[in-house]
A and B are shown apart, each in its own frame.
Chain A
Amino acid sequence: MKIEFGGGLEQLFDNKQTLELHFDEPEVTIQTVIEKLAQICNELRSNVCLFLQDGLVRPGILVLINDADWELLDKEDTVVEDKDTILFNSTLHGG
């Protein structure tokens, strides 16, 4: 599964614009992906609070699944599989 970062979020992930994630299950919810990313964030000693708030993606971070707004789908509960691309794009930066 391809994870992309934008809007400065890459700074939390060792300045990597993209990450490859693989799960044992063929399908997982986005929330599972988010928890995995939070774990990576912690391992890198990045400030996970810039990504998560109360266990959910921080308001102001846009999530696009295969380039579509996750608000069209089921947000955290959207089921994704290995071929999908997920973009986390923060709007919380200067204009």
Chain B
Amino acid sequence: MKPVCENCFKNDAALKRPRNGMKVCKECFFMLFETEIHQTIVDNQLFARNETVAIGASGGKDSTVLASVLKTLNARYDYGVNFVLLSIDEGIKGYRDDSLETVKRNQVQYDMPLEILSYDKLYGWTMDKIVAQIGKKNNCTYCGVFRRQALDRGCVQNSIGHVVTGHNADDVAETVLMNLMRGDIQRLDRCCDIVTGDSSSRVKRSKPLMYCYEKEIVLYAHYKNLDYFSTECTYSPEAFRGTARALIKNLEAVRPSAILDVIHSGKQFQLSKKSKARQVRAVQCSQCSYISSNTVCKACVLLNGLNASEPKLRLTEDEGGAALPVRVLEKLQF
């Protein structure tokens, strides 16, 4: 028999909350889940009245739940925030085609304006083209670096100073472990910050769902019947991240609080004075003028590599489309 809800003592419980083992019914779960996110927003003063905030929307569960909850909270607590959906089209055939359709439906469902930015337009490369060039081994690095800047660029283009992303507690805990295992102390220092980007960056980023368990995000979407897209990216994630993810999930199975505990531990890490002195200060990329820790930003470094090795591709690839003569002309300019 189903146990009774430990919050209202009235309805049948629907789930066991991983953060504290509490058994709750659907209605109480919705209220607790939404209120906790509201508390995170208030405690960290994430939003200002009349601010325009972009929601990085992929059509997946996290960003769909984020858009839905923010719409609910904006109305319930009168934040007075204007939300805009910002989507990236990485140019992965069969993956983004369907998920972009989902985002287009979300635009109607949540009554928010939608802006779509393509890698092709921003960088001149789709992910399919990048994979054809470099193979499937490091493609997630490219995708991640380009996506990070794409959101910033999209915000700047639309005069938006703040973007929220759907990173959940499992994502953050996974990142803490990855940085720890790689000895990436600089990133370890920052990865648990709910707001990133300082005064020198044009766009502020925040993660309102960083204390929400993935389990609850999926159940929220399921019980609310939210429209989201759930096919894994066809270019599977890098092995190291996948292993860290499996580790997090295995830990959760044994001790559900482990996910929030890892984040809590991550937040306590303090850089020593010595490390802090060595910390690289953010500058503007000399090529694209976007915020970077080096004179040339990661995206430009990757792009330079791709563009430099492109002629090699030309020899092996049987390409006869209209793009070819254009590219040949482009190369002549060098």
Q: Which chain A residues have a beta carbon within 8 Å of chain B's beta carbons?
A: 6-8, 11, 58-60, 62, 64, 67-69, 71-73, 87, 89-95
Contacts and interface: CB of A to CB of B under 8 A. Distances in A.
B15 A68 contact: yes
Given A7-B218, A67-B14, A92 B232 contact: yes
B3 to A, nearest CB: 6
B222 interface: yes
Q: Which 10 A-B pairs have the closest CB atoms?
A: A95-B62, A69-B15, A59-B249, A59-B253, A60-B249, A71-B16, A95-B60, A93-B232, A7-B230, A91-B218
B2 A93 contact: no
Interface of B: 2-3, 12-16, 23, 58, 60-63, 166-168, 170-171, 214-215, 217-219, 222-223, 230-233, 245-246, 249-250, 252-253
A94 B232 contact: yes
Contact of B14 (A68, A89, A90): A68
Contacts of A73: 2
A90 B61 CA distance: 11
Contacts of A71: 15-16
A44 B252 CA distance: 30
A70 to B, nearest CB: 9
Contacts of B230: 6-8, 90, 93
B60 to A, nearest CB: 4
Choose among B62, B167, B215, B245 the residue with the greatest number of A CB atoms under 10 Å from its CB: B215
Nearest to B61: A95
22 contacts: A7-B218, A8-B231, A11-B231, A59-B246, A59-B249, A62-B219, A64-B222, A68-B2, A68-B14, A69-B13, A69-B15, A72-B16, A72-B23, A89-B218, A90-B230, A91-B61, A91-B217, A92-B245, A92-B249, A95-B58, A95-B62, A95-B217
Given A72-B23, A94-B232, 5 more contacts: A62-B218, A69-B13, A72-B13, A95-B58, A95-B60
Contact of A59 (B166, B217, B252): B252
Nearest to A67: B14
Contacts of A7: 61, 218, 230
B3 A95 contact: no
Contacts of B168: 95
Contacts of B171: 95
Nearest to B95: A94
Contacts of A93: 60-61, 230-232
A95 B250 CA distance: 20
Contact of B214 (A64, A69, A91): A91
A71 B171 CA distance: 22
A17 to B, nearest CB: 12
B173 to A, nearest CB: 13
A90 B253 CA distance: 14
B252 A69 contact: no
Contacts of B170: 91
Contacts of B63: 95
A69 B14 contact: yes
Contacts of B232: 8, 92-94
Nearest to A61: B249
A19 B273 CA distance: 60
B166 A95 contact: yes
A58 B249 CA distance: 9
